[in-house]
């Protein structure tokens, strides 16, 4: 409804001088006019402040201008923007606007500890507006705040928090340094709306700062990485490459920016790149790496290993990032390794061929050498016995030498064949039930003639009631004969040799004791090694091959027994070995495992320990 004012005409001596409206109407109209003006001012302030930031949100000038607008609108003496740092523990007055003639306080309001203002900060953290009509009448818990504000000459104030999410980021404070009194509803409103606009601006500014920092960090990592890094778009056109990648590719940054990844590849590899890019785009991110043979600018090639992933900008796929490593050396080493492996395989083939030649030779040797040896021995023995007619004493002596040497030759051939058979696992091994009394007697009889030659007395002590053993009798006899043979060989004429067998717990213990030259401590383990002889070289005074003890040891180990020696230099030696009473299973298989020539060092060592331990 239209409001018509109550107008009275003013007359002077019948003349119309003017019209007079009543006072009540004027006040009403003034108020209405003021309200319109205020509302226009309010809208103007808001639109100026927001447009400032739309146009230039990052500029301090925009903040200063906003404070100016707020101050002008509210009639405040000063407007301050405070920001918190150090996780909300320290505040600084970063921006300030002062009415003409009002002194600035900004320089006094830097690095203030938030802890000193618990009442003030508590309210702001709760998101409350602080409205103080009279600074001199602040509550007692705000004692410090009151003093501080007093020093700044503040009489009344209005403050509003700036929050990012739940976190207090700072606040805006309107001061009146002239009078105390209430701040108006419009002042509240303008402070609140402007604080929200400024709060949003600051939040954006903070986020952009963080983004810039993370971009800078990424750039630093990209540039300084020890791995090659590059980025290309989904067509393969290079966008960027770091110094390591550039060095690997052999191009400068400018040159690479006009290149496509495929131009570094030979034809055949190009489909691999598209396959990889498509895989990445279809989210089949290849977790592994791909190897490429890259063509560098100077025409040389480099082998690289590349791991790719999609990178995003603003939430959208931006390109493909590759981590590239030079594996040329690694590749070369693999190639070399393969070459060596091939050479070793070839050598193994050759060795096998040689082995088979050796095997054939030994086969041939065993037959072709031993057969005539047997007939030679037979005929010599027959002549010696006089079966082919009378012979003279000199002829007999000569034939005895022939027979001795034929025997030695036969033993040598047999030892070599045995050692080879042990090594190759080809030795036939036939366990049988064995009467030990009988076996020992036979050995004593066999060895008697050799002992007699040196007038050595053989003492055989076989304890009665020894159990029968399930052993390869021929092989165990071979061991005993070798031990007795050695005892005779290394004993002086006219001495004694004791041969003994007795039961010891679950084993039968065999002993061959002589009182000959003995073996020094440091040689006692070595004598069980193939071809080892204490007295070796051209000066040696005893015959033999150095194979006997090595063969003996393997035969005993195959029977699950132990063999060792106790000896003192000049005091004689006692060789001992054990055989288990319980029959040994899979003897032949065990036998195949022995490594007579110590080709497998580790096993050789184990067996060495075995002997030392027991010995």
Residues that bind ligand ADP (CB under 6 A): 482, 486-487, 490, 514, 516-517, 519, 527, 532-535, 544-550, 573
Query: In the bound complex, what is the minimum distance in angstroms from residue 501's beta carbon to ligand ADP?
Result: 18
Q: What angle do CA 31, 37, 43 make, to 5 degrees?
A: 135
Query: In the bound complex, what is the minimum distance in angstroms from residue 418's beta carbon to ligand ADP?
Result: 12
- Cβ nearer to ligand ADP, comparing 148 with 519: 519
Query: In the bound complex, what is the minimum distance in angstroms from residue 612's beta carbon to ligand ADP?
Result: 16
Task: Compute the distance between CA of residue 306 and CA of residue 322 in angstroms, rounded to an integer.
Answer: 6
Query: In the bound complex, what is the minimum distance in angstroms from residue 515's beta carbon to ligand ADP?
Result: 10
State the Cα torsion 66-69-75-77 to the nearest 10°: 40
- Cβ nearer to ligand ADP, comparing 228 with 516: 516
Task: Compute the distance between CA of residue 9 and CA of residue 25 in angstroms, rounded to an integer.
Answer: 15
Task: Compute the distance between CA of residue 240 and CA of residue 425 in angstroms, rounded to an integer.
Answer: 67
- Cβ nearer to ligand ADP, comparing 262 with 552: 552
DSSP string, 37-76: HHHHHHHHHHHHHHHHHHHHTT-HHHHHHHHHHHHHHHT-
- Cβ nearer to ligand ADP, comparing 527 with 557: 527
- Cβ nearer to ligand ADP, comparing 399 with 534: 534
> How many residues make up the chain in this entry?
615
Phi, psi of 565 (to 5 degrees): -135, 145
- Cβ nearer to ligand ADP, comparing 324 with 487: 487
- Cβ nearer to ligand ADP, comparing 431 with 561: 561
Q: Are 272 and 292 in contact (CB under 8 A)?
A: yes
- Cβ nearer to ligand ADP, comparing 160 with 528: 528
**Which tokens sit at 72?**
């002008």
Query: In the bound complex, what is the minimum distance in angstroms from residue 552's beta carbon to ligand ADP?
Result: 7
**Which 8-state DSSP code applies to residue 127?**
T
Query: In the bound complex, what is the minimum distance in angstroms from residue 545's beta carbon to ligand ADP?
Result: 5
- Cβ nearer to ligand ADP, comparing 162 with 488: 488
Closest of 418, 365, 433, 343 to residue 591, by C-alpha: 418
**Which tokens sit at 295?**
């063509």
**Which tokens sit at 252?**
């400068």
Closest of 534, 529, 524 to residue 553, by C-alpha: 529
Exposed e or buried b per residue across 127-161, where buried means at least 16 C-beta atoms within 10 angstroms of its C-beta: eebbbbeebeebeeebeebbebbeebbbbbbbbbb
Query: In the bound complex, what is the minimum distance in angstroms from residue 458's beta carbon to ligand ADP?
Result: 14
What strands lie across the sheet with 238-241, from one edge to the other? 238-241, 228-232, 316-326, 301-313, 290-295
Task: Compute the distance between CA of residue 262 and CA of residue 271 in angstroms, rounded to an integer.
Answer: 9
Query: In the bound complex, what is the minimum distance in angstroms from residue 380's beta carbon to ligand ADP?
Result: 23
Residue at shortest CB range from ligand ADP: 544
Query: In the bound complex, what is the minimum distance in angstroms from residue 438's beta carbon to ligand ADP?
Result: 25
């Amino acid at each position: 409804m239209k409001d018509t004012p109550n107008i009275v005409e003013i007359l002077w001596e019948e003349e119309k001088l003017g019209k007079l409206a009543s006072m009540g109407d004027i006040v009403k109209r003034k108020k209405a006019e003021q309200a319109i003006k205020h509302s226009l001012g309010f809208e103007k302030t808001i639109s100026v402040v927001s447009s400032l930031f739309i146009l230039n949100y990052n500029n301090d000038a925009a903040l200063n201008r906003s404070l100016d607008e707020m101050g002008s609108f509210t009639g405040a003496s000063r407007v301050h923007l405070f920001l918190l740092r150090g996780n909300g523990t320290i505040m600084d007055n970063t921006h300030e606007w002062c009415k003409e003639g009002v002194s600035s306080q900004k320089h006094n309001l830097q690095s203030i500890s938030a802890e000193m203002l618990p009442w003030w900060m508590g309210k702001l953290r709760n998101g409350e507006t602080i409205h103080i009509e009279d600074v001199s009448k602040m509550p007692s818990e705000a004692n410090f705040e009151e003093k501080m504000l007093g020093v700044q000459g503040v009489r009344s104030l209005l403050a509003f928090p700036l929050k990012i999410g739940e976190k207090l980021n700072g606040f805006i404070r309107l001061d009146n340094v002239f009078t105390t009194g209430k701040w108006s509803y419009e002042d509240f409103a303008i402070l609140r709306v402007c604080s929200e606009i400024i709060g949003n601006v600051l939040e954006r500014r903070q986020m952009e700062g963080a983004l810039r920092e993370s971009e800078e960090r990424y750039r630093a990592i990209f540039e300084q990485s020890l791995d090659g890094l590059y980025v290309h778009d989904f067509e393969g056109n290079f966008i960027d490459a770091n110094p390591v990648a550039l060095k690997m590719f052999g191009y400068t940054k400018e040159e690479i920016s006009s290149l496509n990844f495929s131009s570094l590849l030979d034809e055949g590899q190009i489909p691999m790149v598209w396959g990889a890019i498509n895989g990445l785009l279809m989210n089949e991110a290849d977790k592994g790496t791909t190897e490429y043979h890259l063509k560098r600018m100077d025409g040389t090639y480099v082998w690289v290993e590349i791991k790719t992933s999609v990178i995003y900008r603003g939430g959208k796929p931006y390109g493909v990032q590759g981590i590239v490593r030079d594996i040329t050396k690694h590749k070369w080493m693999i190639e070399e390794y393969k070459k060596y492996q091939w050479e070793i395989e070839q050598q193994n083939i050759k060795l096998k061929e040689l082995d088979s030649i050796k095997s054939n030779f030994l086969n041939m040797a065993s037959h072709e050498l031993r057969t005539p040896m047997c007939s030679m021995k037979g005929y010599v023995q027959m002549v010696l016995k006089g079966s082919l007619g009378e012979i003279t004493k000199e002829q007999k002596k000569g034939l005895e030498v022939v027979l001795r040497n034929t025997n030695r030759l036969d033993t040598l051939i047999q030892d070599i064949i045995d050692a080879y058979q042990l090594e190759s696992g080809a030795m036939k091994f036939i366990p049988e039930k064995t009467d030990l009394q009988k076996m020992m007697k036979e050995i004593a009889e066999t060895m008697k003639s050799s002992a007699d030659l040196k007038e050595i007395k053989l003492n055989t002590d076989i304890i009665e009631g020894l159990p029968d053993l399930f052993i390869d009798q021929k092989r165990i006899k071979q061991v005993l004969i070798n031990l007795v043979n050695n005892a005779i060989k290394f004993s002086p004429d006219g001495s004694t040799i004791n041969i003994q067998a007795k039961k010891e717990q679950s084993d039968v213990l065999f002993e061959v004791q002589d009182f000959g030259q003995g073996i020094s401590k440091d040689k006692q383990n070595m004598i069980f090694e193939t071809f080892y002889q204490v007295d070796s070289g051209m000066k040696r005074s005893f015959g033999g091959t150095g194979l006997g003890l090595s063969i003996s040891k393997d035969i005993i180990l195959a029977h699950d027994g132990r063999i060792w020696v106790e000896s003192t230099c000049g005091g004689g030696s006692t060789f001992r070995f054990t055989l288990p009473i319980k029959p040994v299973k899979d003897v032949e298989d065990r036998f195949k495992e022995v490594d007579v020539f110590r080709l497998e060092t580790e096993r050789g060592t184990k067996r060495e320990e075995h002997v030392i331990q027991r010995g």
